[in-house]
Amino acid sequence: MACTFNPGFVNISDLHPNLNRPSVIGVVIGKTDVKGFPDRKNIGSERYTFSFTMRDSPAFFINAFSWGTEEYIKSLSDSFRVGDCVLIENPLVQTKDVEREEKFNPSTPSYYRLLISEVHSAVKICSTCEVDNSLLSVLHLPTKDPQDYYSLGDIVANGQSLNGKMINVLAAVKSVGEIKHFTTSDKRKGQRCEVKLYDDVVPSFGMICWDNESIQVTQSWIPRETVIFAADVRINYDSFRNSMVATVVSKTILTTSPDTPEAQALLSYARDCIETGVFCEENEELSKDSVKLESIKDIYTVQQIKEKATQGVEKNDPLYGIVYAYISRFNVDSDASKIIRNRCSRCHYLITDLTELCTYTFCNEMSSEPKSVVACLDLSIDLTDHTGTLSANVSGSAAEEMLSCTVDGFFNLTEDQKTALKWNFLLERCKIYLKMVPSTNARSGLRINVLSCNMADPLEACTSLCGKGTN
């Protein structure tokens, strides 16, 4: 079956109740979990239902509903996901009760809704290679006006005045948390996943998903490389966190990688964050780690470190080690704004506005100590040995010791002096002490911080490398 546009399909914009056996094709842009309800006609049994939203053009999309037996509904629901293209044959076109339907379902421009019958209707899945590209492209168009949204900064600024409201949000994905399963007191099984969002003002903002379908959508998001437009998320004040949080509900439509100028601008910012390492891991110290360097004995090659990331190490359990490697990239002569950061003395998050103190949501929960703005060096380097190359950061006092230069001293260096400083290390074999922490935000799977970097003793390096072999 070739699922392309042809006269046999009815556009969503042309649907009406008097059509005879219509066929509708569209991309699924939203979907709910299967739910069961007591069957009033058959006491003791249940009817099952789920719904989804499909779209065939930038301007038109519609909600579709199906009711039936547990076996039929679960089988139909499991047959497709958000992002799939589906063909619905012979649905019942009903005039929708706008107030009733859109209270719990996505708002749509159509006057109608589709009802899929187990007996009379059929739903078929179209492969992407069989579908016109113009149809697939609507997956990246927000369902609301692309300029009608709150930034995370707007939400924080408005605070509890937004409590309980449904709003649209444009943000970048910082991290996707683990899926946590639970059982309620009445034996119902559930799941929960928290996504951390950020933008150019707010470094971390929570969005919670409770249903399996939205959680499945989040699993495709790449931290620091994905921007989303969330239409109709609910904003609430969380008294435990003392902050606002977003919750994905049955009305919510999540648009991944929205094709809008505003989203592209935010994506550029997100990519800059990757390149410059703007954010530190939460609670991570920028100063030298408390572990004593002399206690670090394990020696690794670059390849062995990469294998550690692939195999996965115990969550929140840092790995310490030594690598003998050349510094093959060193951004010490980059623009000062990329290597000197103003951060909060308490939580170490980036401060972009020097007229204000830290605005990070959980900063006040970390400590009662006074906080201030601290300038620190934050350098990005590449380490290369005979097995490969990996990227790392060297920050705070470790960076100052490596360069034999304070932040104030670095400000006074000329460009020639910075270049000379760079060549003191570039392509020189160094003995480097590393702290490696599992991180879903890092491309390698590990966030690697340099604790100490000095020129390596040639004999010591040779002996160590011979002991590790040349593989």
Q: Are 399 and 417 in contact (CB under 8 A)?
A: no
**In three state form, how does the secondary structure of the chain look?**
CCCCCCCCCCCHHHCCCCCCCCEEEEEEEEECCCEEEECCCCCCCEEEEEEEEEECCCCCEEEEEEEECHHHHHHHHHCCCCCCEEEEECCEEEECCHHHHHHHCCCCCCCEEEEECCCCCEEEEECHHHCCHHHHHHHHCCCCCCCCCECHHHHHHHHHHHCCEEEEEEEEEEEECCCEEEECCCCCEEEEEEEEEECCCCCCEEEEECCHHHHHHHCCCCCCCCEEEEEEEEEEEECCCCEEEEECCCCCEEEECCCCHHHHHHHHHHHHHHHHCCCCCCCCCCCCCCCCHHHCCCECCHHHHHHHHHHCCCCCCCEEEEEEEEEEEEHHHCCHHHHEEEEECCCCCECCCCCCCCCCCCHHHHCCCCCCEEEEEEEEEEEEECCEEEEEEEEHHHHHHHHCCCHHHHHCCCHHHHHHHHHHHECCEEEEEEEEEECCCCCCCEEEEEEEEEECCHHHHHHHHHHHCCC
The predicted structure's pLDDT at residue 288 = 41
The encoded tokens of residue 172 equal: 């970048």
The encoded tokens of residue 283 equal: 């609670």
The predicted structure's pLDDT at residue 287 = 37
Q: How far apart are CA 104 and CA 36, in angstroms?
A: 16
Q: Are 184 and 212 in contact (CB under 8 A)?
A: no
Residue ranges and CATH numbers for the domains of the chain are 12-139 (2.40.50.140), 152-275 (2.40.50.140), 277-468 (2.40.50.140)
CA atoms within 13 A on the CB side of 126: 24
For 34, phi then psi, to 5°, come to -70, 135
b/e string for 209-244 if b means 16 or more Cβ within 10 A? bebbbbbbbbeebebbbbbbbbbbbbbeeeeeeebb
Residues 6 or more apart whose Cβ sits within 8 Å of residue 317: 438
The predicted structure's pLDDT at residue 446 = 78
The encoded tokens of residue 51 equal: 């719904």
Q: Are 218 and 176 in contact (CB under 8 A)?
A: yes
pTM: 0.61
Q: Taking phi first (over 0 means left), then psi (-120 to 50 degrees means alpha), and beta for anything else, what does residue 172 get?
A: beta
Low-confidence ranges of the chain (pLDDT < 50): 1-6, 280-289, 315-316, 365-366, 470-471
Q: How far apart are CA 38 and CA 44, in angstroms?
A: 7
Q: Which residues pair with 192 in a beta bridge?
A: 180
The encoded tokens of residue 438 equal: 């599992």
Query: What is the dihedral sign for C-alpha 156, 161, 163, 166?
Result: negative
Beta strands 243-247 and 205-209: pairing type? Answer: parallel
